[in-house]
Amino acid sequence: MEKIISIKDLNYTYPEAKRSAIKNLSLDIYKNEWLSIVGKNGSGKSTLTKLIDGLIEADSGTIEVAGQIINEENIWEARTKIGIIFQNPDHQFVGATVEDDVAFGLENQGMPREEMVKAVDEALILVKMADFKERDPQSLSGGQKQRVAIAGVLATKPQIVIMDESTSMLDPDGRKTVLNLVQQLRSQQDLTIISITHDIEETELSQRIVVLNDGQIVSDGKPEEIYDLGADLQKFGLEEPFTSELVSTLRDTIKLPDGYLNEEELKEQLWKLHSNM
Amino acid sequence: MDKIILGRYLPGDSLVYRLDPRGKFLLTFYFVGIVFLANNVASYAFLLAFVIFAVFLSKINFGFFLKGLKPVFWLILFTVALQLLFTPSANPLWHWGIFTFSKEGLVIAGYIFIRFILIIFISTLLTLTTTPIEISDSIESILKPLKKIKFPVTQVALMLSIALRFVPLLVDETTKIMDAQRARGVDFGEGGLIKRIKSFVPILIPLFVSSFSIAYDLAIAMESRGYKDGEGRSKYRVLSWDRRDNIMVIFMAAVTGILLFLRSY
């Protein structure tokens, strides 16, 4: 698999902070992968995204984005390859209308107006927000605002999309729509998704999960492997997924196969037991 | 906060809405200027007729304009009263101590009253029919010549549009903070002056702090979307100057001509 981001021995300490936010972190992220980064509050997740996008500068170590080590000269070029969707949708809008906001990134690239009009329309159709083109962002729901933010990111055609706790302020419905949309776009446009969250349930769609604690990677593996950590997850301030909790309670009374079961697998097992009775 | 009509936009569609905002913006200022040229009953009556005609063209309910007068009602009353009572005159109708009431005073007070109405109506007409973003676009376009003297026009325009975009957000934030503080027992609008001022501290401090944190988040979001310094950016939003905008300018020139004629009449 092709590497798209390669991080080596990264260190970062916030000015005037005693502890370092990121300690000797090395991580490879592959093309078209959906990677979830989880960890409790203050584990360095958001710092890591800001470092990848060059919004803050590392004390030591290197970050390679699409084959190029980022430094002060090429950071703007690297940023065109990365799109970030932030946590609070209210705090990332620049435009006074939906279309203005989607166009903001394109304006920064100096795209001619005719191309821009087309690109904005396409991006809004992708996120199913074309009917809201002229609306004031303030009049939209949280989920709709995040979809507009996604459109703003997609319009610039990035290779990597970072979601920095983008769904944490949405209701369950909004969260589901946004996540499914991102999943769909990942396969359509060959995007790499880095999703940062502290909710383990939200990592279901990902192919790989990295657990951060105190600025270091403590676990890195497929979702099943990570969910299987059970009590260890709680040590890092994470909740166990619902099915794991249910399975461990059920194991006291009924026999279930070892390892992590997702919702479908658990359902199947329960039906099997039911038909055996 | 809902009572203030001045500075608010009212969605609608009519000739006045479709005019180029730059033209509307400049001509509104121009009109405020020429109001001071009027000096007799005929010229004031003419300007009043013009403003009412413009309001009629906008198809906006006249009640909105009357509402626009409300916040400045006391200012108008005060100024008119001063004019009525303190205009010096050779043959006053009524005289008591420092107060003089005369025919001249009555006429001047009447002029001032109409002048107020004209200026408030025309500026309300501008803001009711022009979106804030159109106004900030107009300001950018009008200030463009200042680029030659190194004035940061594009940055100022972005600043303006962000400021406008955050007005409703900050109003929401303020109401939320007020409710939260009320829930903790802060009483707004009760007690003496000092106590009232003091009760604003628990609103202002959180409001400032949250404004700074919003500004920080927004700056990070803008940078991550490739915003450098405003140079080399293209523009998504363009204003177009049409034939009807030319007609508006010609019409305004005619108004000025008639006004000058009536003035010397």
A-B CB pairs within 8 A amount to 94
Counting as low any pLDDT under 70, the low residues of chain A are: 277
Residue A256, C-beta contacts closer than 8 angstroms, at least 6 positions apart = A247, A250, A269
Give yes or no for a contact between A25 and A197, defined as CB atoms under 8 angstroms apart.
no
Give yes or no for a contact between A44 and A214, defined as CB atoms under 8 angstroms apart.
yes
Residue of chain B minimizing CA distance to A162 = B224
Give yes or no for a contact between B146 and B78, defined as CB atoms under 8 angstroms apart.
no
Residue B192: strand, helix, or coil: coil
pLDDT tens digit string along B224-237? 998 887 677 888 88
Give yes or no for a contact between A244 and A227, defined as CB atoms under 8 angstroms apart.
yes
Query: Can you give the C-alpha Rg of chain A in angstroms?
Result: 20
* pLDDT recorded at residue A119: 93
Structure token digits, residue A26: 């090395």
* pLDDT recorded at residue B102: 82
* Whether this model's pTM surpasses 0.90: no
Contact call for A138 and B168, based on CB within 8 A? yes
Distance from CA of B203 to the nearest CA of A (A): 20
Structure token digits, residue A40: 């409790």
Residues of A in contact with B164 (CB under 8 A): 96
pLDDT tens digit string along B180-228? 999 988 888 777 888 888 888 889 999 999 999 999 999 999 999 988 8
Interchain contact B97–A (C-beta under 8 A): no
Tell me the mean pLDDT in the region B117-122: 91
Interchain contact A74–B (C-beta under 8 A): no
Interchain contact B91–A (C-beta under 8 A): no
Residues of A in contact with B222 (CB under 8 A): 94, 104
Distance of CA A115 to the CA centre of its chain: 29
Interchain contact A197–B (C-beta under 8 A): no
pLDDT band at B6 (very low <50, low <70, confident <90, very high): low
Give yes or no for a contact between A178 and A150, defined as CB atoms under 8 angstroms apart.
yes
Give yes or no for a contact between B66 and B6, defined as CB atoms under 8 angstroms apart.
no
Across the interface, of A55, A82, A96, the residue whose CB is closest to B133 is A96
pLDDT tens digit string along B89-107? 777 777 777 777 788 888 8
Across the interface, of B161, B162, B217, the residue whose CB is closest to A88 is B217
* pLDDT recorded at residue B1: 45
Per-residue HEC secondary structure of B143-205 comes to HHHHHHHCCCHHHHHHHHHHHHHHHHHHHHHHHHHHHHHHHCCCCCCCCCHHHHHHCCHHHHH
Indicate whether B7 pLDDT > 60: no
Residues of A in contact with B220 (CB under 8 A): 50, 55, 86
Contact call for B162 and A94, based on CB within 8 A? yes
Q: Angle at the Cα of A266 (from A263 to A272), degrees rounded to 5?
A: 140
Among B162, B236, B96, which Cα is nearest to A120's?
B236
Give yes or no for a contact between B256 and B38, defined as CB atoms under 8 angstroms apart.
no
Interchain contact B217–A (C-beta under 8 A): yes
* pLDDT recorded at residue A258: 75
Distance from CA of B197 to the nearest CA of A (A): 30
Distance from CA of A74 to the nearest CA of B (A): 12
pLDDT band at B16 (very low <50, low <70, confident <90, very high): confident
Give yes or no for a contact between A90 and B213, defined as CB atoms under 8 angstroms apart.
no
Across the interface, of A91, A96, A112, the residue whose CB is closest to B132 is A96
As a whole-number percent, the residues of chain B with pLDDT over 70 amount to 96
Indicate whether B88 pLDDT > 90: no
Indicate whether B4 pLDDT > 80: no
Contact call for B226 and A55, based on CB within 8 A? no
Q: β-strand A34-38 against A208-213: which pairing, if any?
A: parallel
pLDDT tens digit string along A163-193? 998 888 888 888 888 888 888 888 888 899 9
Residues of B in contact with A96 (CB under 8 A): 131-133, 161, 164-165
Tell me the mean pLDDT in the region B14-23: 82
- Catalytic positions of A are 165
Contact call for A94 and B218, based on CB within 8 A? yes
Distance from CA of B121 to the nearest CA of A (A): 26
Give CA separation, B258 vs B51, B56, B102, B119, in Å: 14, 20, 30, 19
- The Cα B170–Cα A21 span in angstroms is 32
Interchain contact A29–B (C-beta under 8 A): no
Interchain contact B212–A (C-beta under 8 A): no
Give yes or no for a contact between A205 and A211, defined as CB atoms under 8 angstroms apart.
no
pLDDT tens digit string along A69-100? 888 888 888 888 999 999 888 888 888 889 99
Give the mean pLDDT of chain A: 87
